[in-house]
């Protein structure tokens, strides 16, 4: 794991992983880019099924429900199970986000991480810098491939369930949030805009290639939540990314919370309010 060339840096990264992972989890998987949302129920989704959802969501889609959708991407080292509790939490906070909303939690592929000396784990793209500040290097190919996975999921929603992109909110945590921003803004020119985008503790990437068409800027608002003490994806990323998107006409709601690289109950409440407003503006 600790290669001679990256020994010191790798040792520091491993220490960060162990600091964030509960003792019972250390031997199972690294969680340094995960934020487990507390819930009484957790659905574990197999990595092979990119459109897998929980049993209850699948049942809803068979009886005419699922008129809108939320597609949410987990963080590095995590699985869809880490955030699948949103399917319960969001409706408990906003009832409109229940039976008529279909929840999709795509799994990231298993990739080698440069900052971990090639150690493989679930991830959307490679990382070269630690911590992740404004000047972090981009893995363009990996990010584009990850954004395509969101696009494939959205296309499948429309083809199989009749849910158009205009009725879909895309979002994610950390790496997942970074990919959601690419899918929602970088890659929607000439396509139907999404209903909204959620970025939790993520960052704006591929900034030199960022262009947002007027119709996307008007149709796709953004909720960005971030921890004030985040030492993984630095807090500076929120102000930097939000300012760039606002300059391009995007309606950005940015909120910060007293936490590190994690999730906060008030953040989930604000997210629920935002998603409801994006999907059901008249209610």
The string of DSSP letters for 121-172 reads EE-SS---SSSB-TTPPP-HHHHHHHHHHHHHHHHHHHHHH---GGGEEEEE
Rounded to whole angstroms, the Cα distance separating 97 from 91 reads 5
Q: The pTM is what?
A: 0.80
Q: Model confidence over 15-55: pLDDT tens digits?
A: 343 333 332 222 223 334 444 343 322 323 333 333 333 32
174 annotated active-site: yes
Q: Model confidence over 141-162: pLDDT tens digits?
A: 989 999 999 999 999 999 999 9
Q: Model confidence over 55-73: pLDDT tens digits?
A: 233 333 333 345 999 999 9
Instruction: Write down the catalytic residue from 230, 262, 263, 264.
Output: 230
Instruction: Write down the catalytic residue from 74, 102, 261, 264.
Output: 261
pLDDT-based confidence at residue 165 (cuts at 50, 70, 90): very high
Q: Other C-beta atoms within 10 Å of 87: how many?
A: 25
Instruction: Write down the catalytic residue from 52, 85, 174, 201.
Output: 174
pLDDT-based confidence at residue 283 (cuts at 50, 70, 90): low
261 annotated active-site: yes
Residues in the chain: 283
Within 13 Å of residue 219, how many CA atoms lie on the same side as its CB?
19
Rounded to whole angstroms, the Cα distance separating 198 from 190 reads 21
85 annotated active-site: no
């Amino acid at each position: 794991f600790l290669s001679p060339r990256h020994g010191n840096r790798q040792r520091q990264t491993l220490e960060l992983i162990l600091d964030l992972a509960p003792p019972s989890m250390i031997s199972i998987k690294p969680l340094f880019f995960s934020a487990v949302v507390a819930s009484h129920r957790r659905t574990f989704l197999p990595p092979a099924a990119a459109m897998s959802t929980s049993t209850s969501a699948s049942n809803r889609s068979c009886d005419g429900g699922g008129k809108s959708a939320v597609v949410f991407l987990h963080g590095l080292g995590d699985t869809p199970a880490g955030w699948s509790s949103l399917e319960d939490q969001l409706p408990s906070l906003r009832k409109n986000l229940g039976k008529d909303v279909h929840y999709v939690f795509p799994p990231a592929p298993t990739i080698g991480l440069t900052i971990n000396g090639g150690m493989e784990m679930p991830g959307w793209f490679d990382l070269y810098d630690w911590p992740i500040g404004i000047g972090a290097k981009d893995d363009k190919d990996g990010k584009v491939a990850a954004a395509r996975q969101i696009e494939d999921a959205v296309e499948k929603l429309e083809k199989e369930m009749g849910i158009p992109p205009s009725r879909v909110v895309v979002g994610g945590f950390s790496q997942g949030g970074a990919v959601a921003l690419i899918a929602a803004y970088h890659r929607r020119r000439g396509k139907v805009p999404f209903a909204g985008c959620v970025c939790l503790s993520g960052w704006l990437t591929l900034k030199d290639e960022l262009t947002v068409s007027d119709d996307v800027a008007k149709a796709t608002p953004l909720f960005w939540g971030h921890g004030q003490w985040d030492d993984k994806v630095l807090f500076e990323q929120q102000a930097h990314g939000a300012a760039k998107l606002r300059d391009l006409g995007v309606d950005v709601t940015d909120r910060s919370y007293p936490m590190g690289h994690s999730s906060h109950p008030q953040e989930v409440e604000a997210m629920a309010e935002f998603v409801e407003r994006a999907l059901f503006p008249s209610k």
